[in-house]
Amino acid sequence: MQDRALIEKLGKVITKRFLKFLADEAKSRPEDFDKFYSEFGIYLKEGAATDFTHKDGLAKLLRFESSRTEKGKTTSLADYVSRMGEEQKEIYYLIGASRASIERGPYLEGFASRDIEVLFCYENVDDYVMRNLREFDGKTLTAADSADVKLAEKENEGESLSKDEMAALTKWLKETLGDRVAEVKSSDRLVDSPAAVLNADSFMSPQMRAMMRAMKKDGEGEDAPPLKVNLELNPRHAVIKKLSASKDTAGDKAGLIAEQLFDNAMLAAGLLEDPSAMVQRFYKLLEQV
């Protein structure tokens, strides 16, 4: 029993057989597998993220709700891939506290309008799993709220601000918000929301940054790195049109609206760390109504 090579070989054989057993169960008795997964899925996720040898087999066992499943129903990565359009090269996912919070947020709008399926991830470990899994069946796993996502052009309803008007507005907003944003630009993914912040840090997700902050107690440990986000604007939304029209005439009030717009977007993304300034600013805006 002290023969390390023998133990490692036994471990690989047993693991391979057990994963095959689970795959067979998932295919022949999906309801029973779903019950098993609800209890032990966290361990399969951990294995998919850390066990390079069995990563592919474990990835096939993972289950997630998605924008095309009913609440409480899940889908596999393989089934997701089978439904992808010919032009789609990436598997998209969103991380949130619940299905409702993801569906209410601005990040699903562009995908829903293009009929692109998005996986919903609710557990804290999901960000770590997706970043380490990286791909499945040759398709890259991509966070739908990443600034790097490029969606196909689509004609949206409603009159839009002109390119010159958007250029002037984005420049003014960048000057007004300063270092709080890495970039301000027009969005091709927003449909109903006026604005959204997108993670501009390819090395650290908002979830990982929040975890680092949560682990820091009483001044101990390292500070989380500065937050890097892009602000994207919906050029067809009434709020953006009014802000564009008032930025040169409303003075301080326009600046307050710009900051409130940004904080609203940060709040929707779950990234607003201290809402006290936002609340006080909101009161100032109410005084001017």
DSSP for 94-126, written as a single string: EE-SSHHHHHHSGGGHHHHHTT--EEEE-STTH
Residue type, 238: A
pLDDT value for 158:
78
pLDDT value for 228:
82
Among the listed residues 67, 72, 12, 70, the one whose alpha carbon sits nearest the alpha carbon of residue 37:
72
* Beta-strand pair 229-233/139-143: unpaired
pLDDT value for 134:
93
Give 285's pLDDT tier (boundaries 50, 70, 90). confident
Give 11's pLDDT tier (boundaries 50, 70, 90). confident
Residue type, 112: A
Give 48's pLDDT tier (boundaries 50, 70, 90). very high
150, containing H or E segment: none
The rounded percent of the chain whose pLDDT value lies above 70 is: 90
Local structure of 90: helix, strand or coil: strand
**How far is CA 157 from its chain centroid?**
25
| pLDDT (mean) for 27-56 | 93
Rounded to the nearest integer, the mean pLDDT of the chain is: 88
pLDDT for 16 beyond 80 = yes
State the distance between the two ends of the chain, measured CA to CA, in whole angstroms.
78
pLDDT for 205 beyond 80 = no
pLDDT value for 112:
94
pLDDT value for 135:
94
Q: What is the rounded (10 degree) CA torsion for 190, 116, 67, 52?
A: -110
| pLDDT (mean) for 165-179 | 95
Give 200's pLDDT tier (boundaries 50, 70, 90). confident
pLDDT value for 222:
53
The mean-pLDDT minimum among 94-108, 147-161, 246-260 falls in: 147-161
pLDDT value for 157:
74
pLDDT for 248 beyond 90 = no
- The pTM of this model reads 0.86
Give 214's pLDDT tier (boundaries 50, 70, 90). low
Burial class for 198, CB neighbours closer than 10 Å (0-12, 13-18, 19+): buried
* Beta-strand pair 63-66/139-143: unpaired
Distance CA 263, CA 260 (A): 5
Note whether 65 and 99 are within 8 A (CB).
Answer: yes
Give 58's pLDDT tier (boundaries 50, 70, 90). very high
